């Protein structure tokens, strides 16, 4: 017998009703359920209720309503969201700007560009991200303005947005290219006073095939930048292999085989893939050996890394797993074989 009663998710009718309750806790829960219904099937009734919730007295209700309207890509919400950008609550402001970016309507461009000059850092931060979602040109304009911001967090996110824009819709094996107006500026970002901005710039250039930021990638691999976003850390490790940074081998070996891999996340498999791309035979043998592991999870990881590293001698072992869910996750098997056969063609 259950010790605690957990209420079932509300029906649409119940969520619409409870959004008008006096209890703020009930309204917070109801708007979340309404968002779930909106994801399943958006209706005008839901949209109307969320627009009303965006005027609620409680900031958490307004925040959730803004996110839900963004997910619905509600054009009707544009006027109210544009006003909500100036909400007294930081969470609500961020949600409103995020929603405007998700909706992606050019009508919001002017307001979002003005938000880049807002005195509140949270508004400027979210505005850069939102403008990047509206269009590539609009996003690049925002990047070029935001990289001059006094706040390093905003300069960092500007460089990350630039990376997302230039790598948009590229396959993992493609090399991106920087727009002409960004080439020299991006190299200038390598001299930023903030290590995280320098690393983001190095990753951006690296994904465009330029190793000008190699020293900053090495700093990340060696753990000399702290704290560090896991995504940036993984990207630096991967680029060491892609850009053939042989000077990174010692740091990659420590991640792939050192004792620290047992006590904290070191991106072990990403490091092994990078090492294989640098001609490292021990890493190559380790991946192939893991294909014979007793652990299904370890075999599946090895399948993925073998595909990413282009280990052709792994093809027979991976082919033998095809159709056998006990051996490995079949999606991983199919993806790895597709990569490996593509390299053979």
Task: Name the nearest CA neighbour of 38 among 14, 12, 77.
Answer: 12
Query: Which residues, 6 or more positions from 306, have their beta carbon under 8 angstroms from its beta carbon?
Result: 287, 288, 291, 314, 318, 336, 340
Q: List the chain domain ranges.
A: 9-100
Burial class (CB in 10 A: 0-12, 13-18, 19+), 129: buried
Beta carbons of 105 and 75 less than 8 angstroms apart:
yes
Residue 316 carries which DSSP code? Answer: H
Beta carbons of 249 and 260 less than 8 angstroms apart:
no
Distance CA 284, CA 216 (A): 26
pLDDT in tens, the chain (345 residues): 344 444 668 899 999 999 999 999 999 999 999 999 999 988 999 999 999 999 999 999 999 999 999 999 999 999 999 999 999 999 999 999 999 999 999 999 999 999 999 999 999 999 999 999 999 999 999 999 999 999 999 999 999 999 999 998 777 667 888 888 788 899 999 999 999 999 999 999 999 999 999 999 999 999 999 999 999 999 999 999 999 999 999 999 999 998 877 766 679 999 999 999 999 999 999 999 999 999 999 999 999 999 999 999 999 999 999 999 999 999 999 999 999 998 765
Instruction: Tell me which fold the domain 9-100 belongs to.
Output: 1.25.10
């Amino acid at each position: 017998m259950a010790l605690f009663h957990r209420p079932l998710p509300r029906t649409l009718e119940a969520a619409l009703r409870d959004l008008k309750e006096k209890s703020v806790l009930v309204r917070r829960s109801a708007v979340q359920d309404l968002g779930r219904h909106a994801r399943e099937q958006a209706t005008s009734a839901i949209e109307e209720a969320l627009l009303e919730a965006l005027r609620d007295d409680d900031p958490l209700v307004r925040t959730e309503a803004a996110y839900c309207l963004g997910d619905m890509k509600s054009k009707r919400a544009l006027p109210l969201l544009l006003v909500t950008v100036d909400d007294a609550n930081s969470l609500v402001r961020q949600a409103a700007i995020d929603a405007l970016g998700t909706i992606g309507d050019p009508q919001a461009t002017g307001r979002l560009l003005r938000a880049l000059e807002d005195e509140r850092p949270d508004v400027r931060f979210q505005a850069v991200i939102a403008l990047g979602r509206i269009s590539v040109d609009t996003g690049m304009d925002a990047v070029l303005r935001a990289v001059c911001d006094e706040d390093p967090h905003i300069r960092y996110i500007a460089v990350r947005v630039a990376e997302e824009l230039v790598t948009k819709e590229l396959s993992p094996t493609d090399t991106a290219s920087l727009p002409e107006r960004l080439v020299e500026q991006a190299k200038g970002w390598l001299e930023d006073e903030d290590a995280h901005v320098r690393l983001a710039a190095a990753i951006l250039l690296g994904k465009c095939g330029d190793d000008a930021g190699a020293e900053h990638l090495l700093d990340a691999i060696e753990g000399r930048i702290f704290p560090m976003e896991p995504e940036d850390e993984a990207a630096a490790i991967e680029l060491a292999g892609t850009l053939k940074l042989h000077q990174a081998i010692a740091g990659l070996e420590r991640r792939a085989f050192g004792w620290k891999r047992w006590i904290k996340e070191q991106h072990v498999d990403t490091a092994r893939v990078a090492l294989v791309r640098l001609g490292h035979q021990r890493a190559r043998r380790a991946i192939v050996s893991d294909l014979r592991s007793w652990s299904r999870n370890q075999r599946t990881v090895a399948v993925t890394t073998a595909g990413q590293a282009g280990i052709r001698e792994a093809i027979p072992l991976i082919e033998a797993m095809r159709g056998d869910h006990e051996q490995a996750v079949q999606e991983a098997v199919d993806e790895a074989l597709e990569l490996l056969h593509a390299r053979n063609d």
